[in-house]
Structure 1
Amino acid sequence: MQNALAVVTVVVVGLLVGVEFAVAVFVNPILDRLPNDGGLAARSDGARVLGKVMPFWYIGSVVLGAIWAAMAWGDTGAGLVATATALLVLSVLMSIAVLVPINSRVAQWSHDSVPEDWKQQIGRWDRFHYVRVGVIVAAFVLLVVGIA
């Protein structure tokens, strides 16, 4: 049971890392290069769509990590899993405190209602998102090492 939980947790967190990494490194930079601020509508739509899905994915990752850490307590690697889970909790707290408020505003934007400082707000979101990606990558690595 614990091995299956470990595999499921690593897969769920690994997919989360892949999506967030792709958004940070590929998707958003491509959208930002579209002419005439064409990426604005795509970012707004992405904020709405991913804003509905990602909370469940992040919280689910924390729950899976916490259950795995509890089941493995005392075993080799349990400390790594617990640390990874703490990092996932940190990523959720970062999201709630910094990223979600910006994302909620972006989700409401249209070409008619965009604020003047929209590029600065998106830039701030991107910078914090890079940090969050680093945190979840570290958590993922710890989970993978914790399997061994």
Structure 2
Amino acid sequence: MQHVLTVITVVLVGLMVGVELAVAAFVNPIFDRLPNDGGLAARSDGARVLGRVMPFWYIGSVVLGVLWAASARGRPEALTVVVATALLVVSVVMSIVLLVPINSRVAQWSAGDVPLDWRRQVGQWDRFHYVRVGVIVAAFVLFVVGVA
């Protein structure tokens, strides 16, 4: 059972890292280069779609980390898994406090109802997102180390 839990956790967190890294490194920069503010509509749609899925993914990853940490108690990887899970908790707190408020506004924007400072707001979201990606990459690496 422990082996299955570790594999599921590493795969789930790894996929989450891949999605979030792709958003940071590829998707949003491509959106930002679309003509006529086409990126605005794409970001707004992405905020709605991913805004529905990612909370479950993040919380599910934390829950799996907690289960793994509890089952690893007394074993050499326990501290590594606890730190990785703590980093995922940090990423959830960052999301709730820093990213979700901006994302919620972006999800409501339409072509005729966009604030003048929309580029500043999405730029701020991007900067917070880069930090969050770094945090979840670190958690993923620690989970992988915990398997090894």
* TM bin (shorter chain): over 0.9
**73-82 vs 123-132, which moves further:** 73-82
Tell me, yes or no, if structure 1 residue 8 matches structure 2 residue 5.
no
Indicate the residue corresponding to 2:25 in structure 1.
25
**SS of residue matched to 2:103:** helix
- The residue type paired with residue 90 of structure 1 is V
**SS of residue matched to 1:135:** helix
**SS of residue matched to 2:30:** helix
Q: TM-score, normalised by structure 1?
A: 0.99
- The residue type paired with residue 119 of structure 1 is R
Gaps of 5+ in 2: none
Gaps of 5+ in 1: none
Percent identity over the alignment? 76
**SS of residue matched to 1:38:** helix
Q: TM-score, normalised by structure 2?
A: 0.99
1:1-148 residue pairs with structure 2 within 5 A?
A: 1-148=1-148
Offset of residue 53 of structure 1: 0.2
After superposition, the C-alpha distances for 1:63-119 in whole angstroms (9 at most, x for unaligned) are: 000000000011011100000000000000000001000000000001100000000
Runs of 4+, deviation exceeding 3 Å: none
- The residue type paired with residue 73 of structure 1 is R
Aligned length: 148
- The residue type paired with residue 126 of structure 1 is D
